[in-house]
Amino acid sequence: MASSIQHPQLSYRMTTIFSIPQETLIEPAIRGTVNVLKSCSKATTVKRIVLTSSCSSIRYSDDVSKASPLDESHWSDPEYCKRYNLWYAYAKTLAEQEAWQLAREWGIDLVVVNPSFVVGPLIAPQPTSSLRMVLGIIKGAIGEYPNTTVGFVHIDDVVAAHLLAMEESKASGRIICSSSVAHWSEIIEILRPKYPSYPFETKCGSQKGDDNPHSMDTRKINQLGLSSFKTLPEMFDDCIKSFQEKGLL
């Protein structure tokens, strides 16, 4: 069986994420998803499409703390995202909803992996947007750390989740891929004693709407075969070691 894995990449600068116009983030996310699904629907050899979405399409709503643990049935509220200028989450939510609508209309076997904030060793020559933010926090180079409570997940676990989604016949629907949930202040508290030579950010940002306590239900992916996730220390240790090896720290 031939399968397709696609991830509509959203390019943006972390420093301007809350003022990104619609044409540079929202429309490309939706249009990219639609274009790939349309192409795959015409290919007779493609039996399943595995789409990379995000836990950002799950965890944003007024009742997120009360509704936790959040599972695959939960969706981010687009109005909530707009209220707090959470445009990345807004774009990911609309793009995934459009993907599911098209999958129903076109009879596509679609499986969606929803990772949380991905951390781990740097694979590409340059850090991704997420890892650039991690690097900036470690180096104390951006002025503050995000006022964000979010799930984190090791890149190795994300890869394993995609392989399960592609190869496991009983995989279906959405699949949450997330390890521990923490506020960025907790991450810094874990790392600072282990890496005392680095000037971690000390000031918390003022962004609202992204700091709601919550938890993620990962029973579905556990039952598919990913029984445990790498821990926060493991994923950030791998990340920092990679930064050091590449001369970024």
- Provide the annotated active-site residues: 92
Q: How would you list the strands of the sheet with 181-183, edge to edge?
A: 117-119, 149-154, 181-183
Contact 108, 40 (CB under 8 A): yes
Cα separation of 133 and 155, whole Å? Answer: 16
Cα separation of 221 and 224, whole Å? Answer: 5
Supply the Cα-derived Rg of the chain in whole angstroms: 18
**HEC string for the chain:** CEEEEECCCCCCCHHHHHHCCHHHHHHHHHHHHHHHHHHHHHCCCEEEEEEECCHHHCCCCCCHHHHCCECCCCCCCHHHHHHCCCHHHHHHHHHHHHHHHHHHHHCCCEEEEEECEEECCCCCCCCCHHHHHHHHHHHCCCCCECCCEEEEEEHHHHHHHHHHHHHCCCCCEEEEECCCEEEHHHHHHHHCCCCCCCCCCCCECCCCCCCCCCCECCHHHHHHCCCCCCCHHHHHHHHHHHHHHCCCC
